[in-house]
A = this chain, B = another copy of it.
Amino acid sequence: MASLRDIVTSASINLLSAFGFLMAFAILRIQPFNDRVYFPRWYKKGTRSSPTRSGAYASKFVNLDCRTYLNFLNWMPAALRMPEPELIDHAGLDSVAYIRIYLLGLKIFVPLAVLSFMVLVPVNWIGDTLERAKDLNFSNIDKLSISNVPDGSKGFWAHIVMSYVFSFWTFYVLYSEYKVLATMRAEYLASETRRPDQFTVLVRNIPPDPDESVSEHVQHFFCVNHPDQYLTHQIVYNANKLASLVSKKSDLQNWYIYYQNKYERTSKRPLTKTGFMGLCGTKVDAIDHYTSQIQKLNEEEAVERERVKKDPDAIVPAAFVSFKSRWAAAVCAQTQLCRNPTLWLTEWAPEPRDVYWDNFAIPFFELTIRRLIIAVALFFLIFFFMIPIAFVQSLANIEGIQKVFPFLKPLIRIESVKSVIQGFLPGIVLKIFLAVLPQILMTMSKIEGYPSISALDRKSAAKYHMFILVNIFLGSVITGSALQQLKTFIDLPPTEIPKTIGVYIPMKANFFITYIMVDGWAGVAAEILRLVPLVLFHLKNTFLVKTEQDRYEAMEPGSIDFPVGEPRIQLYILLGLVYAPITPLLLPFIIIFLAFAYVVFRNQVINVYDPKYESAAAFWPDVHKRVVIGLFISQFLLLGLLSTKKIGRNYFALLPLPVLTIWFFMYCKGRFESAFVRFPLQEAMVKDTLERATEPQFNLKAYLKDAYMHPVFKSSDVEKSDFTFEEEESPLVATTRVATKLSPDVNSSSPVQSDA
């Protein structure tokens, strides 16, 4: 077991490396030529157009002002300074709610840490089990943990009482935070300006009608059932093929521009190969090749565009139905329309940029089948993912590589290279799997058929959370693959499971402290450095960018990676809750992580990220649920641990805690969840009335007309206004250049000026 000194050493190393990252960040961010990497949010908003300071030519690329290097940490107070309401205005409620998860963690753990160090650490220290057991290796850390309290000691009552205090404090923080978020969401929705999704309902599973087209059917149905309130509707086209053509063309155009630039610089016609990724095949003139390819795609696209417009089979049995008032939309979204509850399904329309267009055509029965299959697949993924990994690992050995890449043979024969390969390869296979895992989970969520990107994000996060819980948390506690664990748990009596895990928990404190430092601290520091976007931007800037518009599009601000980030925070919160009564020494490490991450993500949200969508913190119920799950697990593990400590039946005193936790969850669900799912009529009525009084002449129909058009049909010309209303008869207008992003913000932002 590691001693206190080992931990201090490890902490210093990790602190230093994090500090190194921060230094690098501090230097890189004040260089003008990196301005678009570290402040893209302001460019996207149109409020920043050139590096902060103007001056000599050189200072346009490199910051020569020495004073700014001295205050290299001044981004931290700057990140904290922006008040929350302004932050909501600036970055949206989703981002604010996301950084509040870190705040939630801090609010839980700071008092928990103070209490633990005041009460539990002395109790643990007084116990002298480990001193007496001279034959065991023990460290100072273990002297501060529950392991140091002798079996049957009355000192365990301190842990039992503190477990109650911890749980009730967590309840209190969770409850008040849920309340704050519910209020923030309600206020946000109330303060929002007019948005198409406030008036619109997504209707799915429209039954086929032999006599009418989908469009007519929808119109007639709503004219009958919402006679006074129905305004208009937008049918959905199955434009998946068209969208893939457009995105393929955009790729080709990038290559075309790249070779064009190269030609202009070198005045030599560049060549390329026609085969896979330009690596093999016959050599041809690159510019001609791409021109002809783009030409071909243009023709294909035109044909497909015509087909989608004409073919009734290209119309999906779904529609966005808009109403004259928010009240009517709220009513329609929350009620059942048809006697058959699998037809005419209504739900709130997602924001236009949040729509996931591929999932509208799935009938109800197929949907349930898909969910069944994905549930089974997820189970196998979580518990059996090691089997294919091990298989690939067995293939990816020296012999396998020699067979596939014979030209590497001489290199591999070198002994040192060989041993490196043998040592690293299995690890790399696992790393690659873990890196693509979020993508796999996202694909699974897409198969499940959710109609909005925000819902897909939430569902992927739920899956990733389960994976982390089983394979990282349990997998690290009881060393062994999830499959072995599953076998163990199936063969163990239910009462033995918390015991088995509980006994291992105190031993793993050192491991998790290191994990928090390596994965948590370093991960956050790497997040702020943005190495990958930095490199990508400069590559693009060098090879592709010709106009300001190109440079604008070369910025990849990214956005909060909710499906990966949120489950990771949950892991740290789980660790904190589990170790708070067992090894309080772990808490400061978690607090440092949370505080550091809070500042970093606040900076990122202010300066970098460009949200893909705005769901008004719709994910908070999931966050709340997972913290409660963590609390529940921590209570059970403490129960299991104490039941091995020979304190008679006293540990039964902990039994009411899990019951109370379940009750707390149910109560909060009833109290707050509907604020995140439904839209109260009262609010809708207030906004409607207000709007009718202030803007009686507003043409809502024109405003909503093209709001829910597949992005592939929308023009992406920057100069063109977002709301140009074509004639009703031809909503599909072929354009030469087409946006590849869903964001309509690109179009409405002000033109950007030159800076390099």
A residues with CB within 8 A of B? 186, 224-226, 330-331, 334-339, 341-342, 344, 364-365, 368, 371-372, 376, 489-496, 659, 663, 666-667, 670-675, 678-683, 685
Chain B residue with the shortest CB-CB distance to A668:
B368
CB distance from A207 to the nearest CB of B (A): 12
CB distance from A363 to the nearest CB of B (A): 11
Contact A680 B491 (CB under 8 A): no
Sample (12) of A-B pairs whose CB atoms are under 8 Å apart: A331-B335, A335-B681, A339-B675, A341-B670, A341-B680, A364-B670, A364-B671, A368-B663, A368-B666, A372-B659, A491-B495, A494-B494
Complex alpha-carbon distance, A666 and B373, angstroms: 13
Measured between beta carbons, the chain B residues less than 8 angstroms from A224 are 682, 685
The A interface, classified by DSSP as helix, strand, loop or mixed, is helix
Measured between beta carbons, the chain B residues less than 8 angstroms from A683 are 339
Measured between beta carbons, the chain B residues less than 8 angstroms from A682 are 224-225, 337-339, 344
Going nearest first, the 5 A-B pairs with the smallest beta carbon separation are: A341-B674, A372-B663, A336-B678, A334-B335, A368-B667
Measured between beta carbons, the chain B residues less than 8 angstroms from A667 are 365, 368
- Most chain B beta-carbon neighbours within 10 Å: one of A226, A330, A364, A493: A493
- Most chain B beta-carbon neighbours within 10 Å: one of A226, A341, A368, A666: A341
Contact B681 A376 (CB under 8 A): no
Measured between beta carbons, the chain B residues less than 8 angstroms from A495 are 490-491
Complex alpha-carbon distance, A536 and B448, angstroms: 61
Complex alpha-carbon distance, A495 and B493, angstroms: 9
Contact A681 B365 (CB under 8 A): no
Contact B490 A336 (CB under 8 A): no
Complex alpha-carbon distance, A226 and B224, angstroms: 20
Complex alpha-carbon distance, A671 and B342, angstroms: 6
Complex alpha-carbon distance, A682 and B371, angstroms: 29
CB distance from A224 to the nearest CB of B (A): 7
Chain B residue with the shortest CB-CB distance to A683:
B339
Complex alpha-carbon distance, A496 and B496, angstroms: 14
Complex alpha-carbon distance, A673 and B342, angstroms: 10
Measured between beta carbons, the chain B residues less than 8 angstroms from A337 are 680-682
Measured between beta carbons, the chain B residues less than 8 angstroms from A338 are 680, 682
Contact B493 A671 (CB under 8 A): no
Complex alpha-carbon distance, A172 and B365, angstroms: 15
Measured between beta carbons, the chain B residues less than 8 angstroms from A344 are 682
Measured between beta carbons, the chain B residues less than 8 angstroms from A679 are 336
CB distance from A359 to the nearest CB of B (A): 17
Contact A339 B186 (CB under 8 A): yes
Measured between beta carbons, the chain B residues less than 8 angstroms from A371 are 666
Complex alpha-carbon distance, A371 and B669, angstroms: 14
Contacts A336-B678, A368-B666 given; indicate if A341 touches B376 (C-beta within 8 A).
no
CB distance from A463 to the nearest CB of B (A): 18
Contact B678 A335 (CB under 8 A): yes
Contact B494 A341 (CB under 8 A): no
CB distance from A191 to the nearest CB of B (A): 13
